[in-house]
Structure 1
Amino acid sequence: MSKLFFALALCCILVAQVLAQDSSGRRFCNRLFSNCLREQPTVGTKDDTVGFFNAYCERHDRNWKRVTRCELVRASCILSMVRCDNGTCKNVADSLRT
């Protein structure tokens, strides 16, 4: 009985840790996005990376909605820090919707 209780307690602790990381990761990504938007008038909405990414996604997805530099920064942050996923066109679009 004590082994079962210990296993259950360990699972609860791990779930709590994962949920806490998700919210702190999203807060970090939101701060990063806010900082990017604040600098957007100076830096601009496009750069070479965003241009190549949009061009690639437009070739592979007819319904692709072009993203700005700050949107790509936010999506990349969410994908790497929160979802631990790759930066594909579909994943970027999904991360910007949530």
Structure 2
Amino acid sequence: MSKLVFTLALCCILVAQILAQDASGRRFCDRLFDDCRREESKVGTEDDTVGLFNAYCGRHDRNWKRITRCELVRASCILTMVRCDNGTCKNVAESLRPN
């Protein structure tokens, strides 16, 4: 019985840690996005990377909505820090949808 209680307690601790990490990761990504938006007037909304990404996704998904440099920064952050996922067109689009 004590092994079962210990295992259950360990699982609860791990789930709580994962949920807390998700929230802090999203807050970090939101701050990064806000910083990027503040500099957008100086740097611009698009660069070579975003242009190539939009061109690629536009060719492979006719419903693709072009994204800005800051949106790609936010999506990359969410995919890396929160979801531990790849930066595919589909994943980027899903990560930018409102919760």
With the length of structure 2 as denominator, give the TM-score of the two structures.
0.98
Identical positions, percent: 82
Deviation >3 Å, runs of 4+: none
Q: Which runs of 5+ in 2 are unaligned?
A: none
Kindly state the Cα deviation for residue 48 of structure 1 after the two structures are TM-superposed.
0.1
Quote the residue 1:48 is aligned against: 48
Aligned residues: 98
Match of 1:18 in 2: 18
Kindly provide the CA deviation profile for residues 21-64 of structure 1, in whole angstroms up to 9, marking residues without a partner as x. 00000000000000000000000000000000000000000000
Structure 2 CA distance for aligned equivalents of residues 80 and 73 of structure 1: 11
In structure 2, C-alpha distance between the alignment counterparts of 1:27 and 1:84, rounded to whole Å: 16
| Amino acid of the structure 2 residue aligned with 1:44 | G
Residue 29 of structure 1 corresponds to 29
Aligned residue in 2 for 1:77 = 77
Unaligned segments of structure 1, at least 5 residues: none
1:19 and 1:63 map into 2 onto residues whose CA distance is 32
Supply the RMSD in Å over aligned alpha carbons.
0.4
Q: Report deviation, 1:13.
A: 0.3
State the SS of the aligned residue for 1:21: helix
TM-score (norm 1): 0.99
